[in-house]
Amino acid sequence: MSVHWESGKYPKEIVKGLSNSSVVISAWDGEKLVGLVRGLDDGATVGFPHYLLVNPMYQGQHIGEKLMKQIMEEYRDLLYVKIMPFDSKTIGFYQKFGFEKYDNYTAMQIKRN
pLDDT digits (tens, 9 = 90+) for 12-49: 988 999 999 999 999 999 999 999 999 999 999 999 99
**Pairing label, strands 46-54, 80-83:** parallel
pLDDT band at 1 (very low <50, low <70, confident <90, very high): very low
The sheet with strand 108-111 has its strands ordered as 23-29, 32-41, 46-54, 80-83, 108-111, 100-101
Domains and CATH numbers, the chain: 6-111 (3.40.630.30)
Mean pLDDT (the chain) is 89
This prediction has a pTM of 0.84
